[in-house]
Amino acid sequence: MSENQSTVKDTIKKIVNKDFGIYFFTLDTKGNPTAGVATIYEHVKILRELGFNAQILHDKNDYRLKGDEEGMGIADWLGEEYAELPHISIESQQLQVGPQDFVIIPEAFASIMKQTVNFPCKRIVFLQSYEYIFEMLEIGENWNAFGINEVITTNDNLKKYAESVFRNLVTEVIPIGIPDYFKNSEKPKLPTVAISARDKREILKIVKVFFQKYPHYRFVTFRDMSGLPRKEFAKSLSESFLGVWVDELSSFGTFPLEAMKSETPVIGKIPRMIPEWMGETDENGGLKLIDNGVWVTNLNAIPDMVATMVGLYLEDALPENVLNTMKEYENKYSEENTKQHIKEVYNRIIGRRLTELGVVDAKENESKEVDNKEEKITKN
């Protein structure tokens, strides 16, 4: 047996025995909660529960795990159980990857894709936002050029978009799961509006216009939801009678889904990429929206819509159709569903890796769990 064959056999054995790492490159948000980072941590946590050696990979040693005087860490905003997941930094130079390992790189980090081009491991893009795909790519550059042809994303819209932009991608979808700590408040909802906007200036504008036009509603409180620890965020959202969501560049939008699960109706600006749960554009370009929220095309209409909803809240007359349709979405994006998809998708990814290594037939791999493969390898 040649040395090369022996290495391949060794690699395969390691994969089959789950003796490999799945490293998720993660941005240090310095204590600023982001849905994207939370999703990465969720994948790591679930993969570990499934018996895989998944780890968070970050750039510098001073990654903010615990809060300090400068702000929150992962433990504070996401939870202690997430901070306790294994973390490894590139700076520490302890990361050693072999052909059996996987490195998952968020779409924004084209520079990492370039830097790791000679790594022997399998590299996969984690696409959560179309907005950042080209942030660090030069004109004419693409993921294939860096040896990457597999993508994990969170919804079909992003899958379609990525496949329309890049050729020869294998794209897997793992839907977002909304945690069960998003639930309706046990007490009646407060005259508070939970507001989430990518651009903080939009929040100020909405609030200022609202109070200027409707001074008699000065008893309404607006709460900027950015920067809150996840569980506090969930509590605050459930207590609020209304949510406002402005994220023009959103690729999915977890805020409205979290609000629906909390039984808090949302007024939202329709983003450029219409989320699957919000509706779709028909063949004639017409919008077909689902009335699981109040969706507006005009940002300037939001203060007036908020005022209308305040009036309805005061009379217990929030629109029945919205409240009822919201309920249909309460459990559509469950953690259980995400967990099932993670299990299936990563098994397929591992199966394809084995195929790349020339071991087994791809079609067989895609339909069978990695745990069943040892027998085939022995035959080879």
Partner 1 sequence: MKTDISLIIPIHKLDDSVSEYFTKAIKSVNEQKTLPDEVLIVHAKDKKLKDFLNSFEYGDILPKTKVIENETGDYDFQSQINYGVEKSTSKYFSFLEYDDMLSPIWFDNVVKYKKSYPDVGVFLPIIFECNEKEEFISFTNENVWVQNVSERMGMLDHETLQKIQNFNFDGMVVNKELFLEHGGLKKHMKLTFTYEFLLRLSHLSVDIMVIPKLGYKHINNRAGSLFEEYKNTVNVLESKFWVNKAKKEYFFTEDREITYDVETT
Query: Given the rule CB under 8 A, which residues bind partner 1?
Result: 186-188, 190-191, 216, 218-221, 313-316
Between 186 and 283, name the residue whose CB sits nearer to partner 1: 186
Which among 225, 221, 220 has a CA at the least distance from the CA of 196? Answer: 225
Between 144 and 221, name the residue whose CB sits nearer to partner 1: 221
Between 75 and 318, name the residue whose CB sits nearer to partner 1: 318
141: which residues sit within 8 A by CB, 6+ positions away? Answer: 110
- Min dist CB 262 to partner 1, Å, is 17
Between the alpha carbon of residue 319 and those of residues 100, 187, 307, 324, the distances in Å are: 54, 20, 14, 9
Residue 231 tokens read as 């569980």
Give dist(CA 20, CA 97) in Å, integer. 9
- Min dist CB 216 to partner 1, Å, is 6
Between the alpha carbon of residue 75 and those of residues 33, 81, 184, the distances in Å are: 11, 7, 25
Between 58 and 189, name the residue whose CB sits nearer to partner 1: 189
- Min dist CB 84 to partner 1, Å, is 36
- Min dist CB 215 to partner 1, Å, is 10
Between 218 and 379, name the residue whose CB sits nearer to partner 1: 218
Pairing of strands 190-197, 240-246: parallel
Between 314 and 362, name the residue whose CB sits nearer to partner 1: 314
CB-based contact 19:100 (threshold 8 Å): yes
Between 315 and 375, name the residue whose CB sits nearer to partner 1: 315
- Min dist CB 308 to partner 1, Å, is 15
Between 134 and 214, name the residue whose CB sits nearer to partner 1: 214
- Min dist CB 109 to partner 1, Å, is 41
17: left (phi over 0), alpha (psi -120 to 50) or beta: alpha
State the DSSP H helix or E strand holding residue 151, giving kind and residue range, or none if neither.
Answer: strand 150-153
Which among 89, 17, 14, 102 has a CA at the least distance from the CA of 51? Answer: 17
- Min dist CB 142 to partner 1, Å, is 50
- Min dist CB 187 to partner 1, Å, is 4
- Min dist CB 323 to partner 1, Å, is 15
∠ CA 129-133-134, nearest 5°, is 145
Which among 280, 248, 249, 267 has a CA at the least distance from the CA of 326? Answer: 267
Pairing of strands 266-269, 294-296: parallel
Burial, 265: exposed, middle or buried (Cβ in 10 Å; 0-12, 13-18, 19+)? buried
226: left (phi over 0), alpha (psi -120 to 50) or beta: beta
Between 201 and 218, name the residue whose CB sits nearer to partner 1: 218
Between the alpha carbon of residue 112 and those of residues 107, 146, 320, 340, the distances in Å are: 10, 10, 49, 29
Between 238 and 338, name the residue whose CB sits nearer to partner 1: 238
Give dist(CA 204, CA 194) in Å, integer. 13
- Min dist CB 192 to partner 1, Å, is 9
